[in-house]
Structure 1
Amino acid sequence: MAGKALSAKQLSDYHRNGYIVVKNFCSADETGRLYSTALNDDAMRKNALDLNDQSGKKTRLSLWFTPGNDVFGYLTRSERMIIPVRQLLDGDAPVCHFHSKLMQKEPKVGGAWEWHQDYGYWYKNQFMFPDQLMSVMVALTKANKQNGCLQVIKGSHKLGRMNHGFSGEQVGADMTMVNNALQTMDLVYCELEPGDALFFHSNLLHRSEANLSDEPRWSIISCYSLQSNLAYNETSTSWKTPVNVVPDEAILEWDAGSLSNNDFLAKENDPALKETGWEK
């Protein structure tokens, strides 16, 4: 897959279903380097946010905006990432990186993510065009039903943006419409091996259950937009800065800096966690 465009079938599947899985997106060595960095880089720990689900369990993430000269920045900016993202986003403008986040679901204690659309969050950043926004999740550990893998409702991106309110400290979709979608469309468990990638649309309904297993579930999710997609309530600048693409071999072969240079999100600065009045 490295450095190659998606096939016509993959493009068709994405537009029909709202997502595709690309197996072996990263090699075992690449995934090992990414996971080792996630575990050992102090900046990840120091900048982690805890968000409570409805039951009070904590789901932990570290989120940063500008992709740097670190191993995660190299993945985010790699040809194998940007070429398919450019194919999938709706328009001809340059691809920009909105943010990346390291998702950390620890054994027994990792909390759930409630049903939501990413655009349910990003609507508060006042991005204009959901078809010009998407996410790519790369599994750093095995993701399965036992440790709370991502669940998606196939084709739900075609429903448009749903109303979202607060579920614990998270933003959750209107459950009446979610339940309607579950009666109408297929629920899919996206089980991934380490190194597999899941590409998904910003309006795809998805959730994950708490990790009650003995194994961790860690993943990196990079979120992309086109430069033509204006965000009127976003103070970071990476969303309008074209990605400086690097070759795939950077992930393993280039010297990697520390993540401490990255512009991490502070919880109090996240527009998605602020009341606007229409969440009630």
Structure 2
Amino acid sequence: MEWFCMLMRPLTDEQINQYEKDGYVIIRNGCSEDLIDAFNAHIYTIRSAKEIADWAVPGKTWTDKDRFSTRLFNPHKQDGFSLQMIKLPIIRGALCQLMGDEAVGIQSMYFFKEPGAKGQAAHQDYYYIKTEPNTMIAASIAMDKTDEENGCLWVIPGSHKLGLLTHGEVKDLVEHEHWTHETEGIDLGKQIPVIMEKGDLLIFHNLLIHSSTLNRSTNRWRRSYVCHYVHHASFVGPEHLRFKTPLIRENMRF
């Protein structure tokens, strides 16, 4: 299947080396501004509807405030536009380069992160999603410009080489949501901010320690579309994530 990976090779050798060294790489201008604006508007339409579709409701019990604060979970399973966004050729090509083979999508999340919203404490994605063999890679599409003011991601370069660490209770409830867990036994002072422009793509390893902070802006959102992928032959632990979305055309399946 190596010939599949020849269709698009967006990462340079230097970027691949950076991913292997640091556990992440940014593809600048991976998505056009028109595409980002169209997708943001599409998601807004879904959540602003008078009657929200069952698959898109913010939870069992919700209020109008939750429409644009609670993440939209796995929209690619129900919505055509979200499905195409998880299958972006530039992401598929980068994953092919990093895995050496075709990837499949297993999860998508659209985050709103309005002004004043808390972030998620430092963690490793593999803590929540076990795969065998361990091949999971995340791709985060910046739907807005993201920096320290509006609660960008922070990462510890090279931390993906430490293996899976212990996770415990969240310590800073002013900065972070309470319903997550936090990596223990690591110097969080080594975190650095990931500054991204609208349309940039962040590709990162499932063991990379990363977090996000409180959105301290008064009028800036930090929306993002975060998708998780695995090698097409990997087993996915959580049962609700075992449906694999191919990133290739129907007549090119494995």
Structure 2 length normalisation: TM-score? 0.79
Q: Aligned pair 1:171/2:181, yes or no?
A: yes
Q: Aligned pair 1:221/2:226, yes or no?
A: yes
Structure 1 length normalisation: TM-score? 0.72
Check whether the contact 2:126–2:207 (CA below 8 A) recurs between aligned residues: yes
- Cα drift, residue 40 of structure 1: 1.7
CA distance in 1, matches of 2:221, 2:59: 17
1:198 to 198, 202, 225: 202
Q: Aligned pair 1:102/2:80, yes or no?
A: no
- Cα drift, residue 129 of structure 1: 3.0
- In structure 1, runs of 5+ residues without a counterpart are 51-57, 247-280
Question: Corresponding residue for 1:53?
Answer: none
CA change 1:49–1:213 in 2 (3 A) is: farther
For this pair of structures, how many residues does the alignment match? 224
In the TM superposition, 1:114-129 aligns within 5 A as: 114-123=121-130, 127-129=131-133
Q: Aligned pair 1:74/2:79, yes or no?
A: no
Deviations 1:24-56 (A, max 9, x none): 000111111111112221358943369xxxxxx
CA distance in 2, matches of 1:161, 1:208: 19
Check whether the contact 2:76–2:82 (CA below 8 A) recurs between aligned residues: no
Question: Corresponding residue for 1:242?
Answer: 246
Deviations 1:149-195 (A, max 9, x none): 00000110000111123432112211xx222xx46xx4221111110
Check whether the contact 2:46–2:56 (CA below 8 A) recurs between aligned residues: no
CA distance in 1, matches of 2:59, 2:125: 18
Check whether the contact 2:151–2:214 (CA below 8 A) recurs between aligned residues: yes
CA distance in 2, matches of 1:194, 1:23: 9
Check whether the contact 1:161–1:203 (CA below 8 A) recurs between aligned residues: yes
Question: Corresponding residue for 2:34?
Answer: 29
- Cα drift, residue 99 of structure 1: 0.5
Question: Corresponding residue for 1:111?
Answer: 118
- Cα RMSD of the aligned pairs, angstroms, is 2.6
Question: Corresponding residue for 1:188?
Answer: 192
CA distance in 1, matches of 2:75, 2:113: 21
State the SS of the aligned residue for 1:105. coil
Q: Which has the higher strand share?
A: 1
Question: Corresponding residue for 2:175?
Answer: none
- Cα drift, residue 140 of structure 1: 0.6
AA at the equivalent of 1:85:
L
Question: Corresponding residue for 2:161?
Answer: 158
State the SS of the aligned residue for 1:235. helix
Question: Corresponding residue for 2:139?
Answer: 136
State the SS of the aligned residue for 1:111. coil
- Cα drift, residue 234 of structure 1: 1.6
Percent sequence identity is 25
CA distance in 1, matches of 2:39, 2:75: 18
AA at the equivalent of 2:193:
Y
Question: Corresponding residue for 1:272?
Answer: none
AA at the equivalent of 1:194:
K
CA change 1:105–1:233 in 2 (3 A) is: closer
CA distance in 2, matches of 1:46, 1:235: 16
